[in-house]
């Protein structure tokens, strides 16, 4: 437990953000959308040189979300609420299209989707032509897994802590096409990123064609050193698929710097964006060699338009795609680094407080270079469902617990709308179960 003590005196001043002036959150990207409720947030400034009052800032951010009063939502790793502005945008544009479903009215989305694509590219450190707007992380993973030419002499190395869409899916395609899937296990309690890299390096060989891993595992909260793994793979001519479900919208990302070939993410988790919208990044040099998994109307044009060829998916909810821009605008307004710092602060805060209780073993490492926004720990109870029910019914907490070796693994994943007061309640709930 000694590693936890160093985080107990977190200097919260470093989370005070030195913004100046009034920042407005962007409204809908489409000029025809109706005015949005809570679309403008005046950031509260303290008297000391324009520095933002942190507590007031995040209290106001919380008002942008339609969470039920009193509910403490600690499950962004699974599903986060859309902001009110995102919901209003999607609803206004959906009503607009249903009121006038003519081609003439819907043509406007051809331009607005490119605005959304450009925003995503800037946010992720990518080129606009490398971005495809999908429905979720699973669809992005499927596109890559199904789109590569792999045969009986090839191997794919995956992390055993990946999400099913980046693990089981490989098994299904391997059963069909005959390539070999190699699972890598990392230490239960890694002491340094090198401990995480070593087993992957050992698994790679001349037959390895793809290395596929979750940037942050949803089942442990462990963050892999993605850039290091991508560099090792690239030196050996191996493609990399990074499942970014737990870092898209949470972590300040630069995919060109990371060096991955493919990256996937969902808007309904940390970005708190519209549901059933996601992103697929395909490095420009890899677009030609990746086959689309679906082809429909407008293929001839889409096939020559970079990663857009992976958006040939049939009729879409264009209103949701436009609403994605609103979520990205909020992220940009607060600042990518500031969002990551806030989420990491909340994770460290609750982890430190739980550690102070004693009697709790952690799955997620304490070191920030091996963790992100997820905190997972063990409770000595055989019934994880009862843990969740206690959290929800007695403390108004939305969280998740899994059965692991006769105990319950609890996962907290606080997003920007969570307050430290709410985390104090979560710690009290944990204490009641010890």
| Nearest alpha-carbon partner for 227 in 388, 369, 96, 329 | 369
> So what CATH class is 104-327?
alpha beta
pLDDT digits (tens, 9 = 90+) for 121-167: 999 999 999 999 999 999 999 999 999 999 999 999 999 999 988 89
Domain extents for the chain? 104-327, 339-432
- Return the pLDDT at 37: 34
CA 216 to chain centre: 9
Q: Give the list of residues 6+ apart from residue 255 with CB closer than 8 angstroms, or none.
A: 124, 125, 126, 130, 263, 281
Is the CA virtual torsion 102, 303, 212, 342 positive or negative?
negative
Average predicted confidence (pLDDT) for the chain: 88
Q: What b/e sequence results for 310-340 when a residue is b if at least 16 CB atoms lie within 10 Å of its CB, and e otherwise? A: bbbbeeebbbbbbbbbbbbbbbbbbebebbb
Q: Is the pLDDT confidence value at 19 over 50?
A: no
Q: Is the pLDDT confidence value at 230 over 60?
A: yes
Instruction: Round to whole Å and give the CA distance between 267 and 336.
Output: 15
Model's pTM, two decimal places?
0.89
pLDDT digits (tens, 9 = 90+) for 337-377: 999 999 999 999 999 999 999 989 999 999 999 999 999 99
Domain at 339-432, CATH from 3.90.1150.10, 2.60.120.700, 3.30.2040.10, 3.30.450.20: 3.90.1150.10
| Nearest alpha-carbon partner for 15 in 328, 347, 332 | 347
Contact between residue 284 and residue 130 where contact means Cβ atoms under 8 Å apart: yes
- Return the pLDDT at 174: 97
Q: Give, rounded to a whole angstrom, the gap between the first and last alpha carbons of the chain.
A: 16
Q: Give the list of residues 6+ apart from residue 279 with CB closer than 8 angstroms, or none.
A: 120, 124, 131, 132, 133, 134, 140, 248, 263, 264, 265, 266, 267
Q: What mean pLDDT do residues 260-284 have? A: 97
Instruction: Decide: residue 367, CB within 10 A, 0-12 exposed, 13-18 middle, 19+ buried.
Output: middle
Contacts 24+ apart (CB under 8 A), 357-363: 357/427, 357/430, 357/431, 357/434, 358/1, 359/434, 360/430, 360/434, 362/4, 363/188, 363/220, 363/221, 363/222, 363/409
């Amino acid at each position: 437990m000694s590693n936890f003590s160093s985080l107990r005196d977190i200097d919260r001043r470093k989370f005070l953000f030195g913004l100046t002036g009034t920042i407005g959150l962007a409204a809908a990207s489409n000029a025809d959308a109706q005015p949005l409720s809570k679309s403008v947030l005046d950031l509260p400034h303290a008297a000391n040189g324009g520095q933002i009052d942190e507590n007031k800032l995040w209290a106001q951010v919380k008002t942008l979300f339609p969470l039920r009063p009193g509910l403490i939502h600690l499950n962004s790793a699974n599903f986060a609420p859309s902001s009110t502005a995102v919901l209003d945008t999607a609803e206004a544009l959906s009503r607009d299209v249903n009121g006038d479903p003519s081609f003439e009215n819907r043509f406007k989305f051809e331009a607005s989707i490119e605005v959304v694509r450009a925003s995503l590219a800037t946010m992720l450190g990518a080129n606009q032509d490398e971005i495809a707007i999908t429905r979720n992380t699973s669809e992005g993973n499927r596109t890559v897994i199904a789109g590569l030419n792999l045969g009986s002499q090839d191997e794919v190395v995956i992390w055993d802590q990946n999400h099913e869409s980046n693990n089981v899916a490989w098994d299904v395609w391997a059963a069909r096409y005959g390539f070999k899937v190699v699972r890598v296990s990392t230490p239960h309690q890694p002491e340094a990123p090198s401990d995480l890299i070593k087993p992957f390096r050992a698994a790679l060989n001349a037959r390895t064609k793809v290395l596929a891993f979750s940037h942050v595992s949803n089942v442990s909260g462990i963050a892999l050193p993605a850039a290091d793994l991508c560099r090792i793979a690239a030196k050996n001519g191996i493609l990399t698929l990074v499942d970014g479900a737990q870092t898209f919208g949470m972590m300040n990302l630069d995919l060109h710097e990371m060096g991955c070939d493919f990256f996937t993410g969902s808007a309904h988790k940390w970005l708190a964006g519209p549901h059933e919208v996601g992103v697929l990044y395909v490095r420009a040099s890899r677009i030609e060699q990746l086959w689309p998994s679906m082809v429909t109307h407008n293929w001839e044009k889409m096939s020559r338009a970079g990663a857009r060829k992976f958006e040939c998916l049939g009729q879409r909810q264009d209103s949701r795609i436009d609403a994605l821009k609103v979520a990205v605008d909020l992220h940009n307004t607060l600042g990518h680094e500031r969002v990551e710092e806030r989420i990491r602060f909340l994770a460290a805060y609750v982890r430190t407080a739980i550690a102070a209780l004693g009697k709790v073993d952690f799955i997620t490492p304490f070191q920030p270079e091996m963790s992100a926004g997820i905190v997972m720990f063990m409770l000595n109870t055989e019934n994880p469902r009862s843990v969740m029910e206690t959290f929800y019914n007695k403390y108004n907490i939305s969280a998740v617990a899994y059965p692991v070796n006769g105990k319950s693994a609890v996962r907290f994943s606080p997003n920007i709308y969570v307050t430290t007061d709410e985390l104090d309640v979560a710690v009290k709930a944990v204490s009641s179960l010890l």
